[in-house]
Structure 1
């Protein structure tokens, strides 16, 4: 038998085992106790952290009604984007509007387990913690998309532990308050993606000029890679790094099996097509957008206007606005060219030509304007010149684009026409060129100014507004801000006052020098005709059509200065602008083009003053209407004056459409010179609507009709040319371009041709054109006839008919093209009678010495002309039409 002793090895080994076992159990117990202690400590720490940050945690339910900062957008009435204002460009989109592959690209890159976790990703947190322990750097935040939403809406971007704790708790609360789709939609709409683009909708537009649904796979991957480094990986600023980031996103999509290998290979081999795209402006109308921007700031405040995503729908018609802009621009160019070429912009070289790249660099420093581009003259030969533009393209200017450029001497003088290109240009000169729609031509930046506005007659909606030749040249809105002397554009209102007293269109007014001067200004003021020719007693219709000055003064004397001023105020003119002297009759008041168009609108709509307006309605970022303009409309029945515009639900749009689709039904009976008419239109239905607002009547329907008929004579003249009794109105040029008889208008020219006007209308549109220099002291001058010019060229002294008139003619011709001509339907209370042209009295003759004239019933002549009173040629116009103002 073998015995163990305490010194024997056999005894020591079991003893050591027992000791080790007892020791291990004790340490295991200690580790177990430590684990539970640490767990309890961790739970306590988390609870402590939660209650510590709880007072600072915002209410995540606010995300349900969050207002993303969205720019202010201005639209035309037909939905064309005119402009947008705001620091952040954002196009909010719903989750369902985001392509599935773009969502995959974002999730595969940012948070692959987004639809699985509850707001925080433990695996990501452990990974970030290990990197922190091993490197000592917080290079990875392990933030889920929910955490990024929490940080973006409620926290800062600073990398602190307390911010991370808040972020985690907020993410957990957000996951309980919102659905996964709602959280992802917030992330996709709020993320900053570079170049002022916030959200994927804006990024698609900024980088590719597309809507989300139009993006390709490489483009989606490029956008998905931007949130983590919108500047460093920007495809415009750092294309190589952006492509590397895009390809990494594509590799993640391939790894997650959201794209095939073939799709991956094709996508990574695609070049970057990103480039900066400004706001997709559909209609460039800067003066209108500036008016709308100012309106929104005044009403809602600057911060709200720029960030709340308001959409302002103006009354502007995009088609008509383009026509008005083109007509104004072409008219300004025409004036500028007939006054001569003011010379080159600069001399780039004289003997030794500059290098090609150096020329381009110089030209690029000069901005284009209204289609006018900088160019350098390379060579000149015979009747052509070769130039190079700022893109390096060679352009040949043929003689038809050069021959206009006789030398400008002054506003009243030009040199003889050039005979060859060397009379105009030399190599080395920097000039302006433009394409006029037919060919390239030498050009220059006009110094003259112009403005135009057009209105809808029955409700005052501003259909077009152009405040100047170029907004980049001058932001001064001449339609609403420039007060200029009205000139003869005032005469229809002077005669309207006289008609409402007791005058008729057949009333004879003495066209003779005025010997009794007006001394109200402290000096003897004797008005004269232009030209200084007088024809004796003349019918009112002719006096207005030929803009005879002394007749207008005598008509105002008959009405009385006070009553005339009262009538002008009723037409919307500011009493502070109306001088209390007889110069009023010739247009001495200074008014804006918008005031003029508003006043003329009263004739077009049958006698009502309709206040102009340019805001149709305003919506919020969710497309809810928050403001709707209800215009005061012109009705064919008496209506009380009403208070200023209020914001209520608009019934007018549908009614206006109904009105435009109905045709007047009329019956006209003529018996022994009398005309009776009735008109049944949808306009009457509008007036009977209980929600309609009514405009105030300023002249009777009969007076509006008579003035309109007289203003048609401004364009069409009168008499019988074949019989020697024909005569022109001052706007005879309009009849050659606008071949329709439902247009009426009036020229206007001030002393020394500092302001020129043309205002006119038909039943559907009223328009005013003004041309002049911003410098009130500068005259529009005159131009001499060019031997190498067109047969229908304009020459002589500038005046309303020749300077502003062609712009109005061109615009109205385009605007009314394709619309039916309105028939003449006299209102109730209007009769017609055949009168003798010489005396305005009734006549039994039916030859060329007579014609039918309209009268308010009861004012028609009662006396017949006698043989001794008849004279068939007293009104023959032997004065050149260009001299009439």
Structure 2
């Protein structure tokens, strides 16, 4: 017996020596292949980029992996208890490798012949997750053990647990428990109950097999197994356990919590971030991008643009249903069939798809079925607009009954109105864009590049160069001020005939409408958008001088045709280029560069980029404090403060008009509809191209400049005209489409919201600007104080010196001679 114990002792000693030598040999053999675990001290998780509004609303996120990294302090204790009970009960007792667990697993293999029980600790899973693949080989397992031992020597238990909780894959692109809580429950991790923690923990075994969205029955089974382990380890008593296993499965897919759905903004930011940091870093470094966009203003822009497009589209007529599922004489589809068909449709903007279930001819109503088995009613008021669309210039007769418009079995589009009622609608054919800038530094306040990004990703604010029509005129008039004209200068509003020797034709630019007022003050001409006067001014100033002046506003000379059509807006610009140029009239003459990213932060809150825009600062021009100005980047001044002030003043008349209505001399500017805003600190300019293929309104209020555009993406298609609809009231819009009634309404609706809490401000009058009483007809000085007189602004030294009483004849610009060109120049122009 003694010899047996001695033999046994030698056996264990020699066995231990051989095992130790083998382990040492294996380690020596593999050590060059083992990675350094020091990298785990500074792990950077692949975290998606998030884009926010200036007031912190989530706009979008970009990245393949959804992850919300957590610190150990942010991890709820119930999650830790659940993980340890299920994955590694001896986590705090072992040094990275659980010998007891290994022997237990080995015994299972020897007795059953299968690997029913794993022996991986949480530390070993961290080793595998960061450094190894999932190949089930013995050499991989040995490497896993060695790495785990190194990890335990390098990191604390809390650090290891934190890495594990943030690293694991839990299905649906959710990596880590923070992201999984949002994906499956739409909540932060600290808002979950114990049954939900158990469900997420159950995914560790097999994220696909036990996924509650794909296999709810297996997910519940696995969840209950995890809850049983919690009870076995003493973390739940019997009552808590029974309550938890009886809870229903509440998981369902939740996308990112988008608080401000503005994909045109998001895509602009994405492109800029990729250009700045590269695709991989932009998508994986967890950058927090804060834009200049205000969420309330952006929602106002979205509503204004979409509502205006629907109003335009619906006054041109109804193009019919999306589809016909069954005829009224046929057997109606079942609810399941209807819902399957609705599930195949994509809803854009304000629109939702619906199926007409029945028509009530007596009540003039229609019952409709929407997605998710929702039911609603459309009343006659929501249908009576729908005259048949014939073409862009023609509409059919107004309907008399609801049955003339829609029928049972039709798949239609509807939208919910502000009064809560449903209205028949359709996806607009026309396109639109709206952009607003802060004129003081170029920050984008709002931007929407089309009806819906999901319908068309083409961003018309930045990508669509369209002819600007009369939106060019403030810049033409600005050049005229630089060449001796004033707002009181008299120009002859009369037809122009110019012979083109090369073409053998006469060029006859016309007013729109073709009404001519004779001698007209320059302020009035701009407000009424007189085409021939713009041409006469261009001739007087000279085409080269005009082009040079326009390039000061940031317009490319290659976009400026060197002929007289430039005076009528034949140049093509994007809405962004146009709104940036218009900013100069509000900010004192400076050209600001639009920008949309205000700052970029790391996940830890470190600012790695902050915009440093060039600013419009009049005070800076006159401030001699060089130390104070060192940190200020001053924008380039395109025109003088006085020039900018005078053009802005003239654009006020576009809205408010002039004259005296009681005396019969009153007149409206083309933007008179904007009077509804009831503010004196607004001004702007309409724009309409030939045949109304493009319509514009660009204008300003205090500290904001806005451009609105409406047209078709097909530049050859005109916006057309409409006739009155007898079903609608006296306030309906009809007639030819043009900037004032097609683009201006969106501008108005937007500013109604943006300016509602902004006090009206009086514009600062620059130095060197004087006010003189003039005669309204001749533009000369007057001593009268009746309706024939008015006050006008002038740059000091340019005010009229003659009085109308002594020299009643106005000094009319003879534009047929002023700027007259010779035959050689005509050949160059044409």
TM-score strictly above 0.5: yes
User: Which deviates more from structure 2 when the two are superposed, residues 853-862 or residues 69-78?
Assistant: 69-78
Aligned counterparts of 1:261 and 1:31: Cα–Cα separation in 2: 48
Kindly provide the CA deviation profile for residues 709-749 of structure 1, in whole angstroms up to 9, marking residues without a partner as x: 000000010111112111000010110x2111101111000
* 8 Å contact from structure 1 (residues 192, 198) kept in 2: yes
8 Å contact from structure 2 (residues 617, 634) kept in 1:
yes
Pair 1:366-2:345 in alignment? yes
Q: For 2:81, which of 78, 100, 104 is the aligned residue?
A: 104
1:604 aligns with 2:586: yes
Q: Is the 8 A contact 1:452 1:769 kept in 2?
A: yes
Q: Compute the TM-score of the two structures, normalised by the length of structure 1.
A: 0.89
Distance in 2 of aligned mates of 1:71 and 1:38: 52
Matched residue, 1:191: 168
Kindly report which structure 2 residues correspond to 1:111-150, keeping only aligned pairs within 5 A, or say none.
111-150=88-127
Is 1:389 aligned to 2:367, yes or no? no
Match of 1:155 in 2: 132
**1:562-641 alignment to 2 at 5 Å?**
562-637=544-619
- Partner residue, 1:493: 475
Q: Deviations over 1:130-188 (max 9, x none)?
A: 11222232333311111110110001111111111111111111111111111111100
Q: Write out per-residue CA displacement over residues 274-294 of structure 1, whole angstroms, 9 at most, x where no aligned residue.
A: 000001001000011111111
Query: Deviation digits for residues 332-353 of structure 1, max 9, x if unmatched?
Result: 0000010010111222222213
Please give the alpha-carbon distance, in whole angstroms, between the structure 1 residues aligned to 2:314 and 2:341: 26
Q: Shift of the alpha carbon at 1:638? A: 6.4
User: Structure 1, residues 224-253: CA drift from partner, whole Å, max 9, x if none?
Assistant: 222122111111111111112212222222
Aligned positions of 1:232-631 closer than 5 A:
232-350=209-327, 351-356=329-334, 357-380=336-359, 381-382=361-362, 383-438=364-419, 439-517=421-499, 524-631=506-613
Contact 1:519–1:525, Cα closer than 8 Å, also in 2: no
Q: Is the 8 A contact 1:686 1:692 kept in 2?
A: no
Aligned length, in residue pairs: 805
CA distance in 1, matches of 2:62, 2:582: 34
Query: Residue 127 of structure 2: SS of its match in structure 1?
Result: helix
Q: Paired residue for 1:209?
A: 186
Moved more, 252-261 or 188-197: 252-261
Say if 1:638 and 1:697, in contact at 8 Å, map to a contact too: no
Q: 1:399 Cα shift?
A: 1.0
1:710 maps to what in 2? 650
Alpha-carbon displacement from aligned partner over 1:754-774 (angstroms, at most 9, x marks no partner): 000011111211110100000
Assess if the C-alpha contact under 8 Å between 1:839 and 1:869 holds in 2: yes
- Determine the C-alpha separation between the residues in 1 that align with 2:182 and 2:166: 13
User: Is the CA contact (8 Å cut-off) linking 2:527 and 2:653 kept in structure 1?
Assistant: yes
Is 1:793 the counterpart of 2:732? The answer is yes
Distance 1:384 1:262 in 2: 55
TM superposition shift of 1:824: 2.9
Q: Tell me how far 1:572 sits from its aligned partner.
A: 1.1
Q: In structure 2, how many angstroms separate the alpha carbons of the residues matched to 1:155 and 1:782?
A: 69
1:401-435 per-position Cα deviation (integer Å, ceiling 9, x unaligned): 01000111110011121111122122222211111
Quick check: 1:714–1:731 contact (8 Å CA) kept in 2? yes
- Structure 2-normalised TM-score? 0.95
Partners of 1:319 and 1:754 in 2: CA distance:
31
Conserved 8 A contact 1:520-1:581 = no
Task: Tell me if structure 1 keeps the 8 A contact 2:306–2:350.
Answer: no
CA deviation map 1:746-799 (0-9, x unaligned): 100000000000111112111101000001111100011112213211110000
Distance 2:182 2:4 in 1: 65
Correspondence 1:697 to 2:645: no
Cα distance in 2 for partners of 1:858, 1:366 equals 67
Match of 1:10 in 2: none
CA RMSD, Structure 1 to Structure 2 (Å): 1.8
Equivalent residues of 1:70, 1:89 under 8 A apart: yes
Deviations 1:608-630 (A, max 9, x none): 00000011111223222111110
Q: Does 1:61 align with 2:38?
A: yes
1:830 match: 769
**TM superposition shift of 1:519:** 6.8
CA contact (8 A) 1:384 1:402 kept: no
Q: Residue 244 and residue 148 in structure 1: after superposition, are their counterparts in 2 closer, same or farther (change >3 A)?
A: same
Q: Partners of 1:482 and 1:632 in 2: how far apart?
A: 25
1:635–1:684 CA contact under 8 A, matched in 2: no
Structure 1 window deviating more from structure 2 (267-276 vs 291-300): it is 291-300
1:729 is aligned to 669
Partners of 1:299 and 1:249 lie apart in 2 by: 46
> SS of the counterpart of 1:391?
helix
Contact 1:546–1:714 (CA<8 Å) still a contact in 2?
Answer: yes
Bigger-Rg structure (1/2): 1
Contact 1:412 1:782 in 2 (8 A): yes
The alignment partner of 1:568 has SS state of: helix
Structure-2 separation of matches of 1:708 and 1:497: 14
User: Per the alignment, do residues 218 and 849 of structure 1 end up closer, same or farther by CA in structure 2, a change over 3 Å counting?
Assistant: same
Q: How far has the Cα of 1:521 moved from its partner?
A: 8.4
Once the two structures are TM-superposed, the CA of residue 524 in structure 1 deviates from its matched residue by 4.3
**Residues 1:519 and 1:866: Cα distance change in structure 2 (over 3 Å):** farther
Q: Secondary structure at the residue paired with 2:44?
A: coil
Provide the rounded CA distance (Å) in 1 between the counterparts of 2:405 and 2:396. Answer: 11
CA distance in structure 2 between the aligned counterparts of 1:64 and 1:715, rounded to whole angstroms: 64
Distance 2:624 2:430 in 1: 44
Question: Does the 8 Å CA contact 1:451/1:466 hold for their aligned counterparts?
Answer: yes
Question: Which residues of structure 2 form unaligned runs of 5+?
Answer: 811-830
Post-superposition shift, 1:567? Answer: 1.2
Query: Structure 1 residues 59, 819: closer, same or farther in 2, change over 3 A?
Result: same
Question: Are 2:309 and 2:431, in contact at CA under 8 Å, matched by a contact in 1?
Answer: yes
Is 1:174 the counterpart of 2:125? The answer is: no
More displaced stretch, 742-751 vs 351-360: 351-360
Corresponding residue SS for 1:493? helix
**SS class of match (2:358):** strand
Query: Within 2, Cα distance between the matches of 1:103 and 1:33?
Result: 44
Return the offset for 1:685: 9.8
Query: What is the Cα deviation at residue 44 of structure 1?
Result: 0.2
1 CA distance for matches of 2:624 and 2:99? Answer: 73
Rounded to whole Å, the distance in 1 between the matches of 2:374 and 2:287 is 43
Q: For residue 828 of structure 2, what is the aligned residue in structure 1?
A: none
- Cα contact 2:67–2:175 (8 A) shared by 1: yes
CA deviations over 1:837-856 (Å, ceiling 9, x no partner): 01000000011101100001
In structure 1, C-alpha distance between the alignment counterparts of 2:247 and 2:136, rounded to whole Å: 37
The offset of 1:468, in angstroms, is 0.3
Aligned-partner Cα distance in 2 for 1:177–1:86: 31
Unpaired runs of 5+ in structure 1? 1-23, 640-679, 872-885
Residue 558 of structure 1 and its aligned partner are, at CA, apart by 1.6
**The 10-residue stretch of structure 1 (318-327 or 619-628) with the greater mean CA deviation from structure 2:** 619-628
Within a 5 Å distance, the mapping from 1:840-851 to structure 2 comes to: 840-851=779-790
Deviation at 1:362, TM superposition (A): 1.8
The residue number in structure 2 matching 1:675 is none
Cα distance in 2 for partners of 1:697, 1:437 equals: 44
Question: Does the C-alpha gap of structure 1 residues 250 and 689 become closer, same or farther in structure 2, counting only changes over 3 Å?
Answer: farther
The aligned counterpart of 2:48 is 71
Partner SS state of residue 704, structure 1: helix
